[in-house]
Amino acid sequence: LKPRGVAVVVKAAHHCMISRGVHKRGSDLVTSRMLGVFRDQPMTRSEFLSLVNADKTE
């Protein structure tokens, strides 16, 4: 495919924080990785992150 870049954001619930011990809701773990244009071009990275964050407001 020869992509110019790749960006990945993974959001997961931290179940040991929710179901055991602390019982703290909203203990999410977010991991991201940016390569190529997503790392080197601030506008491209910003556009990607705005799309990811737009999902939170809906």
Question: pLDDT tens across 1-56, in order?
Answer: 999 999 999 988 777 666 666 666 666 788 999 999 999 999 999 999 999 888 66
pTM: 0.68
Cα separation of the two ends of the chain: 32
Q: Tell me how far CA of residue 1 lies from CA of 6, 27, 32, 40, in angstroms.
A: 12, 36, 22, 20
The domain spanning residue 45 has which CATH number? 3.30.1130.10
Its domain, for residue 13, covers 5-57
Q: Looking at the 3D structure of the chain, how many domains does it have? A: 1
